[in-house]
Amino acid sequence: MRTVQGSVTITYAVPITFIVLTPKLDPVNVVDGVSSTFSCVTSESRPPATVSWFKGIDDITAFSNNVTTTFITTSTLTYTPSKEDQGKRIRCEGSNGGTTVTTSPSVHTMHDPPSRPVFHLGGTTGPRITENSLSVIRGKSTSVACISTGNPEPTYSSWNGSDQLWTFIANTDTTRTCLASNTLNPTGFKEELRSISSALNIKVVCE
């Protein structure tokens, strides 16, 4: 009698049950033009889960890389945010053919360095001074505002203390510098002080 033997390997499906997004912060501070990294790790699942990434409604999975070890998938997303990403939400989704699980989304808070200061005559809502050059009448009071944008809101120095508005009476030609600064605090990075300045040239004329 001839005996024939064979064997089969039995595998069983294990559904994905959770996925964890890192950093575990909401909001997440990012900086315009500076590369940011996020990671998502799935529960053990068979077959191993695939991970997809979304920024708002946009699929950004193409910027990620997946590694699977002992049926656990780790996905790393590296991309460069822009100012248009302010308030958008990053999330990841995991699936291995059954139920899709998703993380709670993290809101992007953009941290922007201060823009180069510009000058406005009379106050922040006054007309902009072109070419950073202003003619004033000798002995007459004049007010000029220094304006810069950024997030966090810039602070000012070397202009009129910490004030945006400088009111002065000029009797001779002079140059005044306005320095705008803020501190960027992107998630996962050290705080960074950013500063930028502009100079206003003042020419005195007789009435």
φ/ψ region of 83 (left if φ > 0, alpha if ψ in -120 to 50, else beta) reads alpha
CA dist., res. 44 & res. 84, Å (int): 36
60: confidence class by pLDDT, cuts 50, 70, 90: very high
pTM over 0.85: no
Where are the alpha helices (H) located in the chain, listed in sequence order? none
Among positive and negative, which fits the CA dihedral 88, 94, 98, 99? Answer: negative
φ/ψ region of 97 (left if φ > 0, alpha if ψ in -120 to 50, else beta) reads left
Candidates 149, 152, 144, 151; CA nearest to 125 is: 144
- In this model, does residue 53 exceed pLDDT 60? yes
Q: What is the pLDDT of residues 156-203, one digit of tens each?
A: 988 888 889 999 998 999 999 999 999 998 888 888 899 999 999 999
What is the architecture, at CATH level 2, of domain 19-111? Sandwich (2.60)
Supply the mean pLDDT for the chain. Answer: 90
- In this model, does residue 67 exceed pLDDT 90? yes
CATH 2.60.40.10 region(s) of the chain? 19-111, 118-205
CATH placement of domain 118-205: 2.60.40.10
41: which 2 tokens? 């790790």
6: confidence class by pLDDT, cuts 50, 70, 90: low
Q: What is the structure's pLDDT at 147?
A: 96
